[in-house]
Amino acid sequence: MAIPPSLGNLNNLFNLFLYENQLSGSVPEEIGYLWSLTELALSTNFLNGSIPASLGNLNNLSLLSLYENHLSGSIPPEIGDLTNAKVFYAFSNELFGPIPAEIGKMKSLQNLSLNTNNLFGLIPKTIGNLTEFKLLDLYANQLSGPIPSEWGTLKKLNDLLLSYNQLSGPIPSELGKLKKLSDLLLFYNQLSGPIPSELGKLQKHNDLGLSNNQLSGPIPSELGNLKNLNYLELDSNQLAGCILAELGYLRSLTELVLSTNSLNGSIPASLGDLNNLSYLHLDRNLLSGPIPTEIGKMKSLQN
């Protein structure tokens, strides 16, 4: 069943919720004539075709939810005209092309999720203008180039999810300014250079995932300040130096994964203080010496 274009005649409609049906066909351009619309949810259907540029006319829209369809084509730059939108979800589609720089005009945007598409090109620096951001989710695309240093302005950001892309260059030290950041997931990219010591300032951090990149240098001792950290995943990089005793300060840690690097020296006995640890992966390094008896007493570790 298709969405009838005649819906565009309902000029006084405030909310249009058609999610979790079996709708097919394209999104009618006429929906862009619903000037009073504040929420549009077409998610979890079988819709195809492109996102109509006419949706940019919906100046009162606060929610645009298009996820889990078969939408293709590029994201129209007119989306940037939705300056009152707080949520834009278009994940799990077949969208391709670059993310339009005009998204930086969506000054009220709090949640943007475009994961699991075929988006490519550079991430626009203009996203740094969206100071109300709480969630930025772009994982599982083909985005390339650097992580913009301009994102240090996103002071309300809770979750930054950029894994499974082709991002390169260093991790910007400016991310250490994001004091409300809880999850930083950058694994499976081509990021290089050292892990910025500034990440140790992220006191609300729960999950730091940097595995499967080309990061080098030592593990910064400042990571020992992340008292709320649950997951620390640094495996499959080019990290060198020793495993720091400061990692034993991370008492909330449940997973510590440091395998497939060039770490050397002994395993610090302080890791035995991680009473909540379930997974400890140190294989494929250059470690030497005995396994501390303190670690052998950890009943929480799983095989």
Coil/strand/helix, residue 130: coil
Which alpha helices (DSSP H) does 154-230 contain, by range? none
Q: Which two tokens stand for residue 195?
A: 């892990």
Residue whose structure tokens are 């020793």 = 242
Task: Return the pLDDT at 182.
Answer: 95
In tens, the pLDDT along 65-75 reads 999 999 999 99
Domain 1-145 -> CATH class: alpha beta
> 293 or 115: which carries more pLDDT confidence?
115
Task: Return the pLDDT at 299.
Answer: 62
Coil/strand/helix, residue 241: strand
Q: How far apart are CA 200 and CA 220, in angstroms?
A: 8
Q: How far apart are CA 126 and CA 105, in angstroms?
A: 8
What is the arithmetic mean of pLDDT over 219-236? 95
- The dihedrals phi and psi of 259, each to the nearest 5 degrees, come to -70, 160
Question: In terms of C-beta density within 10 A (0-12 exposed, 13-18 middle, 19 or more buried), how is residue 294 classed?
Answer: middle
Q: Which two tokens stand for residue 219?
A: 């593990």
Answer for the pair 55, 64: CB distance below 8 angstroms, yes or no: yes
In one-letter notation, the amino acid at residue 171 is I
Task: Return the pLDDT at 300.
Answer: 62
Beta bridge partners of 97: 119
Q: Cα dist. 68→40, 72, 94 in Å?
A: 14, 12, 9
Confidence label for 229 from pLDDT (cuts 50, 70 and 90): very high
Task: Return the pLDDT at 298.
Answer: 67
Task: Return the pLDDT at 75.
Answer: 98
In tens, the pLDDT along 230-262 reads 999 999 999 999 999 999 999 999 999 999 999
In tens, the pLDDT along 148-177 reads 999 999 999 999 999 999 999 999 999 999
Residue 142 has pLDDT above 70, yes or no: yes
Q: How far apart are CA 192 and CA 31, in angstroms?
A: 45
